[in-house]
Structure 1
Amino acid sequence: MKRFLATFAISLAVATAASAQDVADMSDLEYAHIAYTADNIDIRYAHLALALSENPDIHEFANTMIRDHTAVNAAALGLLDKLGASAQDNAFSQTLNSNAEEIINNLSQLRGAEFDKAYAANELAYHQAVNELVENTMIPNIDNAEVKALFEQGLEIFKAHEGHAEMMVESLN
């Protein structure tokens, strides 16, 4: 578990350190890709939790992650279609995916309470980092009003996830 948390912290630090200023300079379409990628990663974490955990609270949280992140991605794709635009892949999205692979590999090695604690800690740290990036870097730099509104709505949902993950971490310790 300590190795997992250290790996996660390093992965997250690499992603965010290489990003804050770079992300601030990106376009709305690059932001859309980052958000879509981040949602899909959390959906993958949730499916892993459903497969490996026997804890009903973990299952409830994971199902919430799948439902909410899928809904936000569907809304984002609908907006992009309405705008006649496509999300643009970028180095930050690629770094997120690369780091997620390592985290999933590490989580996959854990079982029982050790998995539950690591999953909950990952969810808390992940939501904290993504919410911080969305709130303080992306939203202030989004040009399109409809895209900005979608990000603001998503942030409200994901801040609730962060609070839920924090309670989960506390209950598992």
Structure 2
Amino acid sequence: LAKSRTKNKQVSEFAQLMITDHTAVNKQASALAKKLGVKPEESATSQSLKSAARKNVANLKTLKGAAFDKAYTDNEVAYHQQVLDAIDKVLIPNARNAELKDLITKVRPAIAAHLEHANMVQSSLAKK
């Protein structure tokens, strides 16, 4: 959505990074689930993240220009903070499978980098 809505180069580049990195992580998670012969289960954490994402997309579809860029970036900051919190407080402590725990642990630095990048874009937009 952001790639087609924004005219801001920083927002566009960040959105492309999110598409690329999240697609790669989803493939890794799917491959691990297939290897382990398990189907990922919904949890309160995943349901909460998905519900918030649906609401945010609906809101973003109503916005254009600078208002879109600000809302998108604010959402990305909040989302990545929620994911980091979930990783640290729920996913890693409760992972019972060593390979799953390893994947989550390996993904964490990328999520932290996404949060830092989103914060930089957010700060840049606030200065305009």
Same fold (TM over 0.5): yes
How does 1:42-81 map onto structure 2 within 5 Å?
48-81=1-34
Q: For each residue in 1:13-64, what CA deviation from the matched residue of structure 2 results, as whole angstroms up to 9, or x when unmatched? A: xxxxxxxxxxxxxxxxxxxxxxxxxxxxxxxxxxx10111111111110110
Match of 2:125 in 1: 172
Match of 1:152 in 2: 105
User: Could you tell me the TM-score, scaled by structure 2's length?
Assistant: 0.92
User: Could you tell me the TM-score, scaled by structure 1's length?
Assistant: 0.69
How does 1:70-149 map onto structure 2 within 5 Å?
70-149=23-102
User: Structure 1: 5+ residue runs without aligned partners?
Assistant: 1-47
Contact 2:60 / 2:72 at 8 angstroms: preserved in 1? yes
Count of residue correspondences: 126
RMSD: 1.3
Which stretches of structure 1, 4 residues or longer, exceed 6 Å deviation after superposition?
Answer: none
User: Structure 2: 5+ residue runs without aligned partners?
Assistant: none
Percent identity between the two aligned chains: 45
| Aligned equivalents of 1:65, 1:51: Cα separation in 2 | 14
Amino acid at match of 1:127: H
| Aligned equivalents of 1:147, 1:72: Cα separation in 2 | 12
| Aligned equivalents of 2:88, 2:40: Cα separation in 1 | 19
| Aligned equivalents of 2:100, 2:3: Cα separation in 1 | 32
